[in-house]
Amino acid sequence: MALGRHCKRSFPTHDNKGSIDLIGGSIAGSILRFSVPIFLGQLLQMLYNLADAWVIGNFADNNAFAAVSTMGTVVFLIIGFSMGLSAGGSVVISRYFGAGDKEKVSMAIHTNYLLAVIISIAATILGLTITPHLLVWIGTPSEVIPYASVYLKIYFGGISTVIFYNIAMSVMRALGDSIHPLIYLAVSSSMNVILDLLFVAHPAFHWGVAGAAAATVISQGTSALLCIGRQLHMSDYTRLQIKKIRFIPEQMKEVVSLGLPSGVQNAVLTIGNLVVQKNVNSFGTYAMSGFGAYVKIESVVFLPILAMSMSIPTFISQNLGAARYDRAKKGAAFCLLFGVATAQLIGFLTYLFAPDLLGIFTQEAQAIKYGTIHSHIVPLFYCVLAFAHCAAGIMRGCGKAVVPMVNMLVFWCIFRIIYVTLAVRFHPVFQSVSWAYPITWSLTDIIFLFFLLKTDWVHNFEKRRG
């Protein structure tokens, strides 16, 4: 049931005091209030990997740092798939929440948790099985493989903690609550830093990459338990009840149909990034370290844009569920403009301070040299990347998840693989790898611009039902 275009919800908001009203009030104010906790939460979450990288970079050798700093791409091959599926579930919950359908909100919440159980089992088995083969396939240097293998075995052994956190977090955000996930992440991030220093740096342990991986799994598990615990103690229709977690074909089909494109997109894009990583590895361990250090920097400085793009699907789906079409359009325009402008400022600052930022993670002059080469090309095109992320968020929020999936697969995976393979072969310099990113981002933006301007995306849910 869709509500009238300018009316408010026909039922009282649920008992979550951390919720932000995305259907009423100032558009910019609502989006920014919702995005800021997501940004801070993502920043804290990044501390897991950044703490690993910093501690390993300062208390272990270059091979250990190369392993930890570059294995994020391998990890994301599986984590990205689960995150994509959880994003689909979030859109379903948001739409029913905006439309005022309590029963379907509850059904969608429990379907998401069932999905978390299924994905956790599959991801643990898959991660432990394919990891050794992936390390060889991407050309990981022989001296790095022992470190990477240990790190990934422990990480994938506890991957269910990451998956359950992502699902629980997506449920909370779909209901307008971006505050509590932030609080729980603050607790677990602090724990991660302490455990990193204890397991890796303290003379009594000196566990190296194993200690870094163990600290990450324990900390992620803590945040997952805190999120789930809150959901279990809600007092209204948004409460998680274990006995209600069951297979509902209609709900599962809806969640998967919206989440699967994003999940497939994340997983297959990671394959493209693995090919890029393989070409980076061909330049040696210092190139791996420099590239890995840059990835850590980008993962932090680009967070404001990612937070904005992550808030868009919830804002769009809630407002479309409430039939607030003009508000959805204006919110989309604000996110695109704000994201592009902010990203370009961030890119310029990253370019200027690249050597100093890289020096946080590695003291090796050769590694910093490679990282600086990459940092003096890619950040100048952050505005292009921002447009792609925000446009993809709009498409997912209106139920057109297939559009970003196909668009990004064609250019960020297939075309990127072809380009970087040929470029490094015929012009074997590190800059050839760097240019793979702005070129493919730009091509993607052209397609997104067409769909935003030439299609009636705001009425997509009605068309799907019709």
Per-residue pLDDT of the chain (466 residues; tens, 9 = 90+): 333 333 344 443 555 555 777 888 889 998 998 888 888 877 776 766 666 667 777 777 677 777 776 666 677 767 777 777 777 778 888 888 887 888 888 888 998 899 889 989 988 998 888 877 877 877 777 888 888 888 888 888 998 988 898 888 888 888 888 788 888 888 888 888 888 888 887 777 878 788 888 888 898 889 889 989 998 988 888 888 888 888 888 888 888 887 778 777 777 777 777 788 888 888 888 888 888 888 888 888 888 888 888 889 889 988 998 889 999 999 999 999 999 999 999 999 999 999 888 888 787 888 889 989 999 999 999 999 999 999 999 998 888 888 998 998 899 989 999 999 899 889 888 889 899 999 999 999 999 999 999 888 988 777 766 5
What is the predicted pLDDT for the residue at 5?
37
Q: What is the C-alpha to C-alpha distance for residues 279 and 296, in angstroms, rounded to an integer?
A: 19
Given a contact cutoff of 8 angstroms between Cβ atoms, the answer to whether 361 and 53 are in contact is yes
| DSSP string across 6-54 | T---SS---S-TTB--SSSS-HHHHHHHHHHHHHHHHHHHHHHHHHHHH
Q: What is the C-alpha to C-alpha distance for residues 109 and 16, in angstroms, rounded to an integer?
A: 15
Task: Spell out the residues 6+ positions from residue 408 whose beta carbon is closer than 8 angstroms to its own.
Answer: 265, 269, 388, 392, 444
Given a contact cutoff of 8 angstroms between Cβ atoms, the answer to whether 18 and 178 are in contact is yes
Given a contact cutoff of 8 angstroms between Cβ atoms, the answer to whether 325 and 459 are in contact is yes
Q: What is the C-alpha to C-alpha distance for residues 107 and 308, in angstroms, rounded to an integer?
A: 27
Q: If you ran DSSP here, which 8-state letter would residue 19 be given? A: B
Considering only CA atoms, give the Rg of the chain: 22
Which residues are paired to 19 by β-bridges? 177
Given a contact cutoff of 8 angstroms between Cβ atoms, the answer to whether 422 and 279 are in contact is no
Task: Spell out the residues 6+ positions from residue 278 whose beta carbon is closer than 8 angstroms to its own.
Answer: 137, 138, 139
User: H-helix or E-strand containing 433?
Assistant: helix 430-434
Which residues are paired to 177 by β-bridges? 19
User: H-helix or E-strand containing 452?
Assistant: helix 436-454
Handedness of CA 6, 9, 13, 18 (dihedral sign): negative
Which residues are paired to 9 by β-bridges? none
Q: What is the pLDDT of residues 77-111, one digit of tens each?
A: 677 777 777 777 788 888 888 878 888 888 889 98
| DSSP string across 105-140 | HHHHHHHHHHHHHHHHHHHHHHHHHHHHHHHHHTT-
Helix (H), strand (E), coil (C) string for 340-365? HHHHHHHHHHHHHCHHHHHCCCCCCH
What is the predicted pLDDT for the residue at 336?
95
pTM over 0.85: no
Q: Enumerate the domain spans of the chain.
A: 27-465
Task: Count Cβ atoms below 10 Å from residue 96 Cβ, excluding itself.
Answer: 24
Given a contact cutoff of 8 angstroms between Cβ atoms, the answer to whether 286 and 370 are in contact is yes
Q: What is the C-alpha to C-alpha distance for residues 104 and 306, in angstroms, rounded to an integer?
A: 29
What is the predicted pLDDT for the residue at 179?
85
What is the predicted pLDDT for the residue at 128?
87
The angle subtended at Cα 10 by Cα 9 and Cα 14, nearest 5°, is 70
| DSSP string across 178-232 | -SHHHHHHHHHHHHHHHHHIIIIISTTT--THHHHHHHHHHHHHHHHHHHHHHHH
Give phi and psi for 208, each to the nearest 5.
Answer: 60, -135
CA distance to 146, 221, 232, 376, per residue, from 239 (Å): 44, 21, 6, 49
Q: Which two tokens stand for residue 449?
A: 């611009």
Q: What is the C-alpha to C-alpha distance for residues 214 and 192, in angstroms, rounded to an integer?
A: 9
The residue among 245, 220, 97 whose CA lies nearest residue 161 is 220
> Measured between alpha carbons, how far apart are the two ends of the chain, in Å?
13
The residue among 82, 71, 70, 72 whose CA lies nearest residue 267 is 82
